[in-house]
Structures are given as C-alpha cells and as structure tokens.
C-alpha cells in the first residue's frame, strides 16, 4: 500500500496551525504520517502541538526549521527527506475535510500528481463526499495548464515523491513568486499522469483562492508593489529554467497589465500617472507582438508605452473606456444608465444648491440623512433636495424633495449634479465624486463588531477579505467628511476606514438629536405610541438584534430566527408589557408571531428606530450598535447573546470588552432573559453606575444639535461658492 505524508509549514500564528492540526486529527482515515515544520518564532509553542497530537494514534514528527527563514528552501529540504510514496503540503489555517484522506487513498499509486481545487472556507463543511458534485478529470488532453494553475499553489496538491526525485524537480528558489506554478508546470510537462478534482471541497484554503501571492496586490500599496512586482517578474524570467515557465511568466505580466490597468478601473488615471516607470519597464520587457491580436487597442496602448509615448497610451486607454461605455449605451446593455453617467459625468456641471440624500442604500427614508434633511428643509427651503430610494412610489418623504428611483437615469443625473451627497452607508463605487462635490458620510452606528480594515477574515457571500478591503478602501477614499458619534468611534474610524482625523467631525449622530431633545416630551411620545396602535396601559420592551454574517440567503440578505420563547414571555410579562420586534435592515425573512399579535408587534419596517427607542421602557439587543444610541436615554438594557462564542470568536470579533463594558446583564437563554426582565427595577438599580459610565464614554457628545451643525455647514459652503 502507498504511504502518505502531510506536511504543515507553520507560521507565527500558532492558533492557525492548531486549526489545521485539528482537521488532520479529524481525518476518518489515520493511515498517514503528519509532519509539522515549525518556524523559530513559534518554537515556544511546540508543547501545544505535542499536546494536540497526544491523544491520537497518528504518527507525527515536529521538525524545527533550524532558523532557515526562506519558505521555499524549507520546503525543498523537507522534500529531500520525504520517505513516503506521496506527500502534500498544508499551510497554517487551511483545513482538510475529514473525508479527504479516505478519498485520496483510493487514487494513490495510479497518479503522479493529484490536484484538488482549493475552496474558500465556509461555515458548513460537508461531512461526506457528494459524488454527484465532485468532478474528476484525468485525460491529459482535457487538462490544460490553465486549469491546473487555477490551483496556483502546490499547497493541497499530492505529489509522487519518486517522480520528483527521478526528474529532479524541486521548487526553483530563484523565481520566488513563480516557484509554485513552475513546479506544477514542470510535473505536467513530463508526460505524467495527473488527476484533477473540482466541484466539491477536498481542501479548504484559509483565505479563499487563488493563493498564488503574485496574483494579488495589497489594497493600499499598489504603486509600491507594482514596481516591485515588475522587477520580480523580470528577475524570475531570467532565472526560469524552461521555456514553458518563461512564457508563463510573460503571460502573467501581460494579463496583470490588462487587469490592473483596465480602462474601467476606478483609479486608472492615478495609476497611469504614478506607475510610469514601472509600466515602461514592463512593456519594454514583454514582446508587444506577442500580445493577443484580438485586442488591437490594448496592443496599441502597450506599443505606445514601449516607445515612451505615455500620454498617447493614456489617451488610448481612455478611448477604450469610452468606446466600451458607448457600446453599452447603444446596445441597450443592462448597465446602460450607468454607462451613460460614466460617459457624461465629468462634463456635467455641479449645482452647489442641490443636496442628495440616501439612507441604507436607498432602502428607506431614515437615519441621520433624514435628520439632516428635515432640519435643512425647514431652515433652508430654497435649496433643491433629492432623495434616492429603492421604492420611491411607496416611500413617504415630507417636504418638497424629489424622490428618485435608485439606479434610474435620473438618479445618475442627481449624483452627477448634486453639490453634496449625504448618506449613511457605502455607495456604489462606480459613482465618481468630482472635486467640487462634497461627500458627507454619516455612517450608521458606533462600531462594536470589527469593521473594514480591522477585520481579519471576511466571510460574506460574494467577496473575500482581499476584495472586501480593497473595495472598502476605495469607498472611504471618496469621503470628505465622516461624522463620528464619540471619541471611541473616531479612533476606530481612523484605522477601520483609513480616515484622517481632520476629515472626521465628532459631533454625535444627527439621528440621535431627537433622543436628546425629546426624551421627556410626553406628548410627542404618546403620539408615537398612538401611531403604532399600542395599548395605553402597557409598558414597552424593544428587541433590536443585529444580523449574523453566517446566516445569509444571498448577497445582502440575511435570515433571522427568533430565539425568544414568546409563549413563556407572554405568560410572565404579558399583563404589564408588549414587546416590539425590530429586525435589522439586512434581515429579509418575516417573523412568525401568529397567536401573539396582542403581545408581540413586528416593527421591522418602521422607518424611525429613534422613535422606537423613545417609546420603550427598556431595550433587548445583542451585538448591535443600537446599544450606544439607546445609552443616551440611560434606560435599562438587556443583552441576549445566545450565540456569543460563535459571534465573538468565529465571526467578527469586538472592539469592546463585551463581558465587562456593557450597561446591563448578559443572558444566554430565553428563560434567563425572561427572568431578568421580570426583575426590571432591580436591574435598573444594580446597573445605575455602568449605565452612567457607558453614557459618559459613548453618548456625551450628543447635544441634540448634530443635524443643525451639518445643515448649517452645507448652507455656509453654498453661500461661499456663490462669492
């Protein structure tokens, strides 16, 4: 029987390595040897590795890397010493599903290289192989290099040791970034028998795919990295040992030029301007005659660059961009409105007296943009106001604002023309803010969950960490002013949003003005209660939980399962209270409250959560930033964190010390929650001190005038522009 070794090259993050180790231990089939190569900086943690392996019957070995810090050299050293018939490298944090070894074992002996496609880690890892989904390709005529290289790594690939030794194949340490691809290409080029699996996960990569370092640039440092990349390409090309690898390297550079300098790229002009030297060097290196003849204008652009006609090259690039847009307009493409906007925007004159508002991507007329608008509309009725909405027909907006359907032709005209954009969430990146337009981002909550650049690992549908951060960076780059509700948020915004302190206006949230100004306005409060048809003699509990990253239906839509025992709560509290159930705006399912309509009221689509705060006697939440707004009222709060471990550990991580910084009791079961709520006055007494402390830390900037500050600032700017 063929023997097999798995080799984990650990890194400085021992927790990641332990995750991989756990997945190795969880293999159903233990017929393999496990080798861990440690780096010098985790040598103190070797005990933890031994401990993890101690209860298993798996044969294992821990090899210190002996101070060698070059990963490729370490890997080659390991390959030299391999005694088993097959081996596979794993990176720290990667996961081998429990069925993988049993599955691989069926194919050992027959193949020289077994390549499972890399999968991005998800929350639910299957428990057995679904053979209806798993595809395998072995006929070498169907196996193009491109297909193999989509793998882009030798991590997760099973190699036959004997073949590598016979043909003297090792990682070429001279072509650093291409070494992995080169090794796969080399095996593929010697008439070897290869098996490729895809369609079903047999190997999970810590941070999505592809893995080849060279295929991506860090979000923020493109200019520095591009030069470095070009140098590395040229160096690797010179040190590549076969023609095939040389040609692969050259093609990689060409495709990088095509993608990274695509005419549609948001920062294309800057990119051209900042990378002249690197571009000239790159183009001088590639043979422009080899570039795909089907792309004549791209070819022409490269050609002009080769002869140092940079300006002409930029013009051709811009022409390619405009030609593509025009084609979209003329062919009635689904992006027709957007393309028309992109063609015209730079020529459209900005009207400083037009102010555009948007809340939660057009979902509602709500939040801080609403507060700013209502102040402005009353104080400065002479200006033009525009609200971008998904459902303009069924959304009521007081005053004379024009309601515009999001992504319609009119909405693009509004974005193009408005002197000011006031919004509380991200806006599409293709909206190009001109220099004489001011983008005021109010954001929508004091952060509790990690955000933007502070997130380690993004697990949201339709994106990965790299893409999420790059897009976020491009979003925040356009923000001229960011509103901050407190000092704590200002500090976070600087790192999470790459913001400079001078662009942050720490004045409290416009949406919270009403909480400061109306907290004791009995008349106002009773009007809201009436609007919501609440029984007069009942007190109000508000339940406002957040969304859960892992419970998604599709991009931008999440599920929520009510984990409150309504029947019991009704029995215990129904005489005295009603409960308002308020789901987060990303939750798209409808709650089932059948039979409890007298007690539980679904207020998820009510457009003003501040009014809900005002009429409630206490709040139940979990990890939502609603706790910070509610803190202004200094009323009791209950934290129903039934999934705290998962939320804190796996999902996002918090900025706060969740267990110690909150102004109310944390409970994990519905029964405990009901019990705490039954003791409301005791909770109120016990938490007076933390409530006051919480207020000082998060709410003391709110003076009830934030809308006025912003509205007056806009007005002043408009007046200045007239001078």
Q: 89 pairs with which residues across the strands?
A: 7, 155
Buried (b) or exposed (e) across 249-267, using 16+ Cβ within 10 A?
Answer: bbebbbebbeeebebebee
Closest to ligand C2G by CB, 193 vs 700, is 700
Residue 215 — φ and ψ, nearest 5°? -75, -10
The alpha-helical segments, DSSP class H, found in 346-503 are 367-379, 409-417, 465-477, 487-496
> CB 458 → ligand C2G: shortest distance, Å?
13
> CB 121 → ligand C2G: shortest distance, Å?
21
> CB 198 → ligand C2G: shortest distance, Å?
34
> CB 472 → ligand C2G: shortest distance, Å?
11
- DSSP character at residue 199: S
Closest to ligand C2G by CB, 187 vs 540, is 540
> CB 248 → ligand C2G: shortest distance, Å?
42
Closest to ligand C2G by CB, 418 vs 627, is 627
- DSSP character at residue 157: -
> CB 499 → ligand C2G: shortest distance, Å?
13
Query: Which parts of this chain interact with ligand C2G (CB under 6 A)?
Result: 443-445, 447, 449, 451, 544-546, 582-585, 609, 624-626, 629
CA proximity to 123, closest of 643, 672, 697, 500 = 643
> CB 393 → ligand C2G: shortest distance, Å?
23
Site of tokens 């023609």: 243
Question: What is d(CA 578, CA 537) in angstroms, rounded to the nearest whole number?
Answer: 10
SS3 assignment for 303-356: HHHHCCCHHHHHHHHHHHHHHHHHHHHHCCCCCHHHHHHHHHHHHCCCEEEEEE
Give the contacts of 665 (CB within 8 A, at least 6 positions apart): 638, 639, 676, 683, 687
Closest to ligand C2G by CB, 254 vs 499, is 499
**Token digits for 629?**
């707004």
Closest to ligand C2G by CB, 31 vs 648, is 648
> CB 430 → ligand C2G: shortest distance, Å?
22
Question: What is d(CA 684, CA 634) in angstroms, rounded to the nearest whole number?
Answer: 10
Closest to ligand C2G by CB, 66 vs 590, is 590
Closest to ligand C2G by CB, 256 vs 444, is 444
> CB 604 → ligand C2G: shortest distance, Å?
8
> CB 587 → ligand C2G: shortest distance, Å?
8
Closest to ligand C2G by CB, 421 vs 543, is 543
**Token digits for 423?**
């919004």
**What number of CA atoms fall less than 13 Å from residue 127's CA on the CB side?**
0
User: What one-character-per-residue DSSP string does 85-97 give?
Assistant: SEEEEEETT-B--
CB 442 within 8 A of CB 400: no
Sheet bearing 577-581, strands edge to edge: 600-602, 577-581, 539-543, 618-621, 637-640, 666-667
Closest to ligand C2G by CB, 305 vs 451, is 451
> CB 368 → ligand C2G: shortest distance, Å?
9
CA proximity to 95, closest of 6, 24, 155, 12 = 24
CA proximity to 262, closest of 295, 239, 303 = 295
> Assign residue 361 a region: left if phi > 0, alpha if psi is -120 to 50, beta otherwise?
left
Closest to ligand C2G by CB, 419 vs 545, is 545
Closest to ligand C2G by CB, 447 vs 665, is 447
């Amino acid at each position: 029987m063929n023997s097999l070794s798995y080799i984990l090259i650990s890194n400085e993050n021992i927790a990641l390595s332990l995750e991989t180790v756990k997945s190795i231990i969880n293999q159903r089939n233990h017929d393999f040897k496990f080798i861990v190569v440690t780096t010098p900086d985790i040598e103190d943690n070797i005990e933890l590795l031994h401990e993890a392996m101690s209860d298993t019957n798996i044969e294992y070995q821990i090899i210190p890397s002996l101070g060698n810090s070059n990963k490729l050299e370490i890997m080659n050293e390991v390959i030299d010493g391999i005694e088993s018939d097959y081996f596979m490298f794993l990176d720290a944090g990667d996961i081998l599903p429990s069925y993988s070894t049993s599955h691989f074992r069926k194919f050992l002996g027959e193949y020289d290289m077994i390549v499972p496609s890399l999968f991005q880690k998800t929350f639910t890892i299957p428990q057995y192989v679904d053979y209806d989904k798993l595809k395998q390709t072995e006929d070498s005529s169907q196996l193009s290099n491109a297909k193999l290289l989509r793998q882009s790594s030798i991590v997760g690939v099973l190699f036959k040791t004997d073949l590598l030794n016979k043909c003297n194949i090792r990682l070429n340490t001279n072509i650093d970034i291409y070494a992995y691809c080169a090794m796969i290409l080399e095996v593929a080029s010697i008439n070897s028998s290869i098996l490729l699996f895809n369609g079903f996960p047999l190997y999970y990569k810590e941070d999505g795919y592809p893995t080849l370092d060279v295929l991506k640039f860090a979000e923020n440092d493109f200019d520095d990295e591009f030069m470095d990349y070009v140098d590395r390409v040229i160096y690797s090309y010179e040190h590549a040992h076969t023609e095939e690898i040389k040609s692969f390297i050259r093609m990689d550079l060409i495709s990088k030029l095509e993608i990274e300098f695509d005419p549609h790229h948001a920062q294309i002009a800057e990119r051209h301007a900042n990378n002249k030297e690197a571009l000239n060097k790159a183009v001088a290196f590639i043979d422009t005659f080899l570039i795909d003849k089907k792309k004549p204008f791209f070819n022409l652009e490269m050609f002009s660059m080769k002869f140092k006609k940079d300006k002409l090259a930029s013009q051709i690039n811009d022409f390619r961009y405009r030609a593509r847009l025009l084609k979209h307009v003329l062919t009635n493409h689904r992006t027709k409105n957007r393309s028309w906007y992109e063609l015209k925007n730079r020529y459209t004159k900005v009207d400083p007296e037009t102010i555009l508002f948007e809340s939660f991507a057009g979902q509602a007329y709500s939040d801080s943009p609403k507060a700013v608008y209502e102040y402005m509309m009353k104080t400065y009725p002479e200006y033009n106001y525009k609200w971008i909405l998904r459902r303009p027909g069924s959304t009521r907006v007081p005053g004379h604002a024009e309601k515009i359907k999001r992504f319609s032709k009119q909405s693009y005209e509004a974005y193009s023309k408005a002197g000011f954009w006031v919004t509380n969430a991200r806006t599409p990146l293709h909206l190009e803010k001109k220099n004489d337009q001011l983008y005021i981002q109010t954001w929508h909550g004091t952060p509790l969950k990690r955000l933007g650049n502070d997130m380690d690992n993004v697990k949201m549908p339709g994106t990965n960490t790299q893409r999420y951060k790059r897009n976020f960076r491009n979003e925040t780059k356009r923000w001229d002013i960011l509103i901050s509700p407190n000092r704590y948020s200002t500090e976070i915004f600087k790192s999470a949003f790459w913001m400079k302190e001078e662009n942050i206006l720490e004045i409290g949230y416009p949406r919270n003005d009403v909480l400061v100004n109306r907290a004791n306005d009995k008349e106002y409060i009773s009007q809201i209660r009436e609007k919501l048809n609440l029984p007069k003699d009942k007190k109000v509990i508000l339940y406002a939980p957040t969304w859960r990253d892992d419970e998604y239906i599709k991009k931008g839509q999440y599920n929520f399962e009510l984990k409150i025992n309504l029947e019991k709560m009704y029995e215990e509290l129904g005489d005295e209270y009603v409960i308002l159930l308020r789901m987060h705006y990303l939750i798209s399912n409808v709650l089932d409250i059948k039979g409890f309509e007298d007690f539980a009221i679904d207020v998820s689509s009510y457009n003003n959560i501040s009014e809900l705060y005002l009429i409630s006697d206490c709040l139940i939440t979990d990890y939502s930033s609603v706790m910070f707004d509610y803190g202004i009222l200094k009323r009791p709060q209950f934290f129903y964190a039934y999934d705290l471990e998962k939320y804190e550990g796996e999902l996002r991580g918090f900025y706060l010390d969740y267990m110690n910084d909150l102004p109310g009791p944390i409970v994990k079961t519905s029964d405990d929650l009901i019990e705490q709520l039954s003791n409301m006055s005791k909770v109120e007494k016990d938490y007076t001190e933390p409530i006051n402390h919480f207020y000082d830390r998060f709410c003391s900037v709110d003076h009830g005038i934030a809308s006025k500050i912003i509205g007056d600032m806009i007005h002043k700017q408009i007046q200045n522009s007239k001078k």
